[in-house]
Amino acid sequence: MTPEMLSLSNSPVWFVGIMLVKLLVVFTVVMLSVAYATWCERKVIGHMQTRLGPMRTGWHGLLQPFADGIKLFFKEEIVPSSAIKVPFLLAPMMILVPALITVAVIPFGPDIQLGDFMVPLQITDLNIGVLYILAFAGLGVYGLVLAGWSSNSKYSLLGGIRATAQMISYELAAGLSIIAIFMLSETLSLRGIVALQQQDLWGVCSFVPNWYVFTQPLAFCLFLVAGLAEINRTPFDMPEAESELVSGFCTEYSSMKYALFFMAEYANMIVIAALTATLFLGGWSAPLNIAIFTMIPGFIWLLAKVYFMMFCFMWLRATFPRVRYDQLMRLGWKVMLPLALANVILTGLVVVILQ
């Protein structure tokens, strides 16, 4: 007898218990990654600029995230007297929450057997997984806009307006580049997409898995660039361009509310890295179908891919200067969008011909 998939109907107590454990573990891993991403970014950029980065707190500054956290906790919480209170308080939450709940649909391993049931290593497998991610990625913009507007300061407002224009334009390119993936996978579930990427490459090469980065290199590049633009990372960090807008949309924030914006930035980075890994780089599956690689558990591969992508984002930040606003818009609408559309048409043609 093959074991049943654990669900709310066949064993409610176990289901809820295991779900809570999964939630807790994933949340802890994401939060720790967020904390150490800040340290890592300072170290990586420091070494790339021939500096050392943080060195004082702990061995090579390893305790720096905690020191920063404690410092921010004890800072005075300031709400500017001319700020509009409710949106001002809501904005930091509205930017962090969409980033965190997106992680729920990312699979981090194969199904494992516990007792009589199969347990999927994924918080929830939605059959509209990718749409769910796109929907919540679009909600992140509320935080930026509300923060920018409710602070009642010109720098914040300019930052918020830039953020909206940028996110709306690049959301299209990101969404269209993923459509090419659906056309190949014929499923919207991230679990299904990962499963398909474990097959042989183009059905011939048996030890290289069928990662979509090999079939869809253009979509991969478009998704990466659009993803970077959507999470406002350098070179697309126009909303918080510190040389012109002080600190952009979060200029008026202080203490933990300011820290929430930073946590959201790194959480978004993790989400984009995890999505890239899941959609294009085979998710939790090993890069080569040989025994030494497939023995290593799936979540380690996923984490390795996520951290590698994040390292690339930091590398990009150390390499490229910030783009100008008109360049940003021209790139989004006149280059990325037509390329993404062309990619969709091309993929459709190839799929039809190969049938």
Partner 1 sequence: MEIIFFYMVALVAVISGFLVIRCQSPVNSALGLVNTFFCLAIFYVMLHAPFMAAIQIMVYAGAIMVLILFVIMLLNLGTAERKRYTHGIVWSSLASLLVLVNFIFFIKRGRVTGVEGDITPFLIESFGHTELIGKAMLTEFLLPFEIASIVLLVAIVGAVVLAKKEV
Helix (H, G, I), strand (E, B) or coil at 200: strand
Given the DSSP bridges, would you call strands 4-5 and 205-209 parallel, antiparallel or unpaired? Answer: unpaired
Query: Could you tell me the smallest distance in angstroms from the CB atom of residue 348 to partner 1?
Result: 12
Query: Could you tell me the smallest distance in angstroms from the CB atom of residue 216 to partner 1?
Result: 20
Query: 263 near 253, Cβ under 8 Å?
Result: no
Query: Could you tell me the smallest distance in angstroms from the CB atom of residue 318 to partner 1?
Result: 32
Query: Could you tell me the smallest distance in angstroms from the CB atom of residue 158 to partner 1?
Result: 12
- Comparing CB distances to partner 1, the nearer of 113 and 127 is 127
- Comparing CB distances to partner 1, the nearer of 139 and 218 is 139
Residue 108 neighbours by CB distance under 10 Å: 26
Query: Could you tell me the smallest distance in angstroms from the CB atom of residue 47 to partner 1?
Result: 39
- Comparing CB distances to partner 1, the nearer of 174 and 281 is 174
Alpha-carbon distance 255 to 274, whole Å? 29
- Comparing CB distances to partner 1, the nearer of 29 and 89 is 89
Query: 103: which 2 tokens?
Result: 């992680």
Q: Which value, to the nearest 10 degrees, does the dihedral of the CA atoms of residues 181, 182, 186, 189 take?
A: 100
Query: Could you tell me the smallest distance in angstroms from the CB atom of residue 139 to partner 1?
Result: 6
Query: 208 near 142, Cβ under 8 Å?
Result: no
Query: Could you tell me the smallest distance in angstroms from the CB atom of residue 346 to partner 1?
Result: 19
- Comparing CB distances to partner 1, the nearer of 64 and 177 is 177
DSSP E strands, 200-315: 200-201, 205-209
Which residues are registered as beta bridge partners of 119? 112
Burial class from Cβ neighbours inside 10 Å (0-12, 13-18, 19+) for residue 96 reads buried
Alpha-carbon distance 5 to 200, whole Å? 26
Alpha-carbon distance 33 to 89, whole Å? 25
- Comparing CB distances to partner 1, the nearer of 68 and 171 is 171
Report the interface residues with partner 1, using CB under 8 A. 84, 86-87, 90, 126-128, 131-132, 134-136, 138-139, 141-142, 145-146, 149-150, 157, 160-161, 164, 168, 171, 188
Query: Could you tell me the smallest distance in angstroms from the CB atom of residue 185 to partner 1?
Result: 12
- Comparing CB distances to partner 1, the nearer of 37 and 340 is 340
For residue 114, the surrounding DSSP H or E stretch is strand 112-114
Alpha-carbon distance 122 to 120, whole Å? 6
CA–CA–CA angle 101, 104, 107 (5° rounding): 150
- Comparing CB distances to partner 1, the nearer of 53 and 140 is 140
